[in-house]
Amino acid sequence: MKLEKKIDVDPILDSGEHYLQKELYDLVKKESSIFDFLQVGALDGLWFWDLLDPENVWMNASYWTTFGYDPKEMPHKADSWQDIVFKEDLKNIYANFASHAEDPTCPYDQIVRFRHKLGHTVWVRCRGMMLRDKNGKPIKMLGAHTDITDIKLKEEELRLQSAFFEQVIYGTGLGTWKWNVKTGETIFNERWAEIIGYSLAELEPISINTWMKYSHSDDLEKSNELLQAHFKGKTSIYEFEARMKHKNGDYVWVLDRGKVVSWDEEGNPEWMVGSHQEITEKKNTFEKNRLFIEQAPSAIAMFDTNMIYLAASQRWYDDYGIEDKNVVGKSHYEVFPEIDERWKIDHQECLSGKVLKSDEDRFERLDGRVQWLTWELRPWYTNDNKVDGILMHTADITDIKLKEEELRLQSAFFEHIIDGTGLGTWKWNVKTGETILNERWAEMIGYSLAELEPISLGTWLEHSTKEDQDRSNKLLKDHFLNKTPFYECEFKMKHKNGEWIWVLDRGKVVSWDENGDPEWMVGSHQEITKKKKDFERNRLFIEQTPSAIAMLDNKMNYLAASQKWFEIYEIGDIEIIGKSYYEIFSEISKARKINIVSCLKGNIVKNYEEKVNTKSGKSKWLSWELRPWYSNDNEIGGLIIHVSDITRIKKEEELKSLLKVAEEQNRRLKNFAHIVSHNLKSHSGNFEMLLDLFLQENPEIEDNEIIKLFKTASSNLSDTIAHLNEVVLINTSLDKSLVPMELKDAIDEVVRGVSAIALESKVEINNLVNDNIDVLAIPAYLDSILLNFITNGIKYRSKQRKSHITLSAVKNRKYVVLSIADNGLGIDLAKHRSKLFGMYKTFHPNIKNSRGIGLFITKNQVEAIGGKIEVTSTVNQGTTFKIYMKYEKD
């Protein structure tokens, strides 16, 4: 009774219709080994085979129900089960049978695939034992089935998931690692070894010592510090830039990132996973080549630890409107005085070794303009791993997530990377149409996954165009036929907001069925709308740009050209799109051809000057810049050529040499003026003295008209020479030191000196200049300037109204502007503006003692201290002089 409970009772047994079933029961009662076997093996099917009469085999009910058949309808014949076994597996069954028959120690134990009645695959572990006669000849065989379909499906799911993640990581070019912190067990992928020039086989045996062996000794201490900080929870991930010894003897730079993904029961780190990304070129660029930064197409600048500029790209100057084209050596805070404290705090944090970035930030300029910036601050290091400054530029760094333990370690590892890429991912069963998308896939077209349910291949078809579907199907077919290593297609998708976005769709078949047909395929969606639109708009941009720009393919055929390009070369209205560059310009210099070839290899050619002949035969000097442009697969698609007409600049260079000659002549003329003014003064003084002696000897002729004329001429000559001497003295005093002077005090001093004249003339003088406004001046000049303008205001007052003179001042970014306004007679500027500051020019003939020298001398004095004068005036309404004077900056 006990044995009967262990074995399924077949209905046929009760009727006594099958001898093998009865014989098996008898054997079970007699042989305990058979009973033990059934205890372990008979789970999902039991069979007993007569090897002496091989057509007969008995199968219990579970055997057939496992495969979806009715046991009552199935015959107990050998060929009844062979029709539902996969052909490849049937061959293995016979081979295993033969081995077990020949050698009882060779187990009959194998995995076999059966085709279920409903069409799906059932995986079975099939174990058996042969019963032999006393001579060892097999006479019967007992077998047991265990359904392991669920296990195999899980294994397949894990394999597909691994293939999916590996496909995504393969595209990133990352070396990956797993490290057991406690035991030292270390696992690298092949790419990790390739980065330092080896295969994994060459690095065997792999351990943590493998990394230490090839790491630069100076980096180990810093790396350990960062690891300990991560172990203590001070950082969310471990990140370090390290040097590793390449097989060729050189050092390569890698960006090493990792994360602890499992901890032991005591809270200590156990398993850690991470990646290596080679950054040698980036490090060498910043450490060895400032020229790269200066020629970079993006806005990028390099600073030392004091935020002094070491280099800046042309785009940096353009983006921020920096007029001073050489900021190297200047403080960042001097170039941008509007920078507030929060930026300075960020700079100091970066100098402490932190990498800071922002996807969006507001920058208010000094003139009130607002710029929104995406920025990244990254410290740059010297060879001794010391922070030596900051690189400021735009960047997008993808974070990596790591997997945990076997499946958890693997999933965490790959998902960490994928989440950071921002990719929409998909899995597609080519045979059944089953489709799996991640949340990001839906986000790209403005939905959540829940809104797109139920997910299927139709989800994609619904949001794409028929034209793109046909093109995609052709590329898929090529991939299925192994014509391409992977599937890749660019197409449009309908966004929830009604607009179309562009995506780059990549995928690969990762499993094939028994017939060699594709089964599971995995891939990703990457939005490239901006990149696509930028590329598609290039022609329109180039055609409308005010600069002379042309875009050519890699065969030097025209794709687009601006109107300015036609004008500079005087091409006229001929059609050049699609034509060869060499066809339009047959006379091309050897130097230009060399530069074109160099650029097509990926080099940027700048500041190349050449004299060319236009279509009309006119000669021009042009400055060239050639840059390669790249297609979506990062291949050079052709060139963008920008030219500037520098013919005028070349002519200006010729003029500069002439100016040098003029400057030397001016210097000689100035010396000549000194000599002439000195000698004339001596001679005129002698003449005046001799005339006085002559009159002393002959007093009776003092009233003689001719003598009076001589006296007047002598006096006028002396005055003229004195004035000329004063002007010469002013114009040669530029090398005198300018000193800070408090403007209000200087005005008060002059006003006190003329107070008697002002009182007598009934002129009110108002000094409205604020305290603490300083100007840079020569004290004697400032006193003379103020005295001249104030006394002029008194002299040319109007007697028709109460007179006043008002002095006020404001400070702008470059000057202190002093305004001296009166309500006097005024000047007819429409008539006299051109000669206002001329020598001996007067505008009020009825005013006594008006010699016309005051404004002339005052203007020279203002210009001598680096200032300038502006004037506004209306006849009979007054005059306002504005004197611009420099001041000492904080």
CA distance 420 to 164: 16
- The closest of 713, 706, 855 to 788, measured between CA atoms, is 855
Task: Give CA separation, 747 vs 755, 777, 784, 864, in Å.
Answer: 12, 13, 11, 19
Task: Tell whether omega for the bond before 454 is within 30 degrees of 0, i.e. cis.
Answer: yes
Q: What backbone phi and psi angles, to 5 degrees, belong to 19? A: -70, -30
Task: Give CA separation, 199 vs 165, 166, 188, in Å.
Answer: 22, 18, 11
Q: Is 464 helix (H, G, I), strand (E, B) or coil?
A: coil
Residues β-bridged to residue 435:
428
Q: Which two tokens stand for residue 889?
A: 């900056």
Q: How far apart are the first and last CA of the chain?
A: 109
Distance of CA 697 to the CA centre of its chain: 95
Inter-residue contact 425 to 434 (CB < 8 Å)? no
Cβ count near 187 (within 10 Å): 14
Cβ count near 19 (within 10 Å): 12
Inter-residue contact 22 to 13 (CB < 8 Å)? yes
CA distance 559 to 213: 53
Long-range contacts (CB closer than 8 Å, 24 or more residues apart) made by 356-364: 357/395, 357/397, 364/338
Cα torsion at 835, 836, 838, 843 (round to 10°)? 90
E strands present in 317-418: 356-364, 370-381, 387-393
Burial of 484 (0-12, 13-18, 19+ CB in 10 A): middle
CA distance 409 to 710: 114
Q: What backbone phi and psi angles, to 5 degrees, belong to 539? A: -60, -45
Q: State the amino acid at position 147 in one-letter form.
A: D
Q: Which two tokens stand for residue 696?
A: 């002393």
Tell me whether strands 803-811 and 763-767 are parallel, antiparallel or unpaired.
parallel
Inter-residue contact 640 to 630 (CB < 8 Å)? no
Query: Tokens 């001041």 identify what position?
Result: 887
Tell me whether strands 138-147 and 121-132 are parallel, antiparallel or unpaired.
antiparallel
| pLDDT on residue 348 | 92
| pLDDT on residue 725 | 57
Task: Give CA separation, 482 vs 25, 160, 373, 430, 485, in Å.
Answer: 56, 19, 46, 15, 6
Query: Tokens 């016309």 identify what position?
Result: 852
CA distance 4 to 35: 11
CA distance 541 to 801: 65
Which residues are CB-contacts of 580 (< 8 A; sequence separation ≥ 6)?
Answer: 555, 556, 557, 558
Q: State the amino acid at position 376 in one-letter form.
A: E
| pLDDT on residue 247 | 93
- The closest of 467, 419, 427, 465 to 443, measured between CA atoms, is 419
Tell me whether strands 356-364 and 370-381 are parallel, antiparallel or unpaired.
antiparallel
Which residues are CB-contacts of 863 (< 8 A; sequence separation ≥ 6)?
Answer: none
CA distance 286 to 293: 8
CA distance 29 to 561: 97
Inter-residue contact 502 to 444 (CB < 8 Å)? no
Q: What is the DSSP string of 473-517?
A: HHHHHHHHTTSSSSEEEEEEEE-TTS-EEEEEEEEEE--B-TTS-
CA Rg value for the chain = 48
Burial of 174 (0-12, 13-18, 19+ CB in 10 A): buried
Q: What is the DSSP string of 221-271?
A: HHHHHHHHHHHTTSSSSEEEEEEEE-TTS-EEEEEEEEEE--B-TTS-B-E
Would you put residue 389 in left (φ > 0), alpha (ψ -120 to 50) or beta? left
- Angle 705-731/647-697 helices, nearest 10 degrees? 140
Q: Which two tokens stand for residue 507?
A: 């995928």
- The closest of 88, 132, 140, 138 to 111, measured between CA atoms, is 88
Q: What backbone phi and psi angles, to 5 degrees, belong to 440? A: -65, -35
Task: Give CA separation, 401 vs 240, 272, 412, 685, in Å.
Answer: 16, 11, 6, 96
The segments of the chain whose pLDDT lies below 50 read 1-15, 39-41, 394-414, 416-417, 735
| pLDDT on residue 461 | 85
DSSP, res 454 = S
Tell me whether strands 301-303 and 271-278 are parallel, antiparallel or unpaired.
unpaired
Tell me whether strands 868-874 and 46-50 are parallel, antiparallel or unpaired.
unpaired
pTM for the full predicted model: 0.27
CA distance 837 to 852: 8
Q: Which two tokens stand for residue 313?
A: 């790209």
Q: Is 589 helix (H, G, I), strand (E, B) or coil?
A: coil
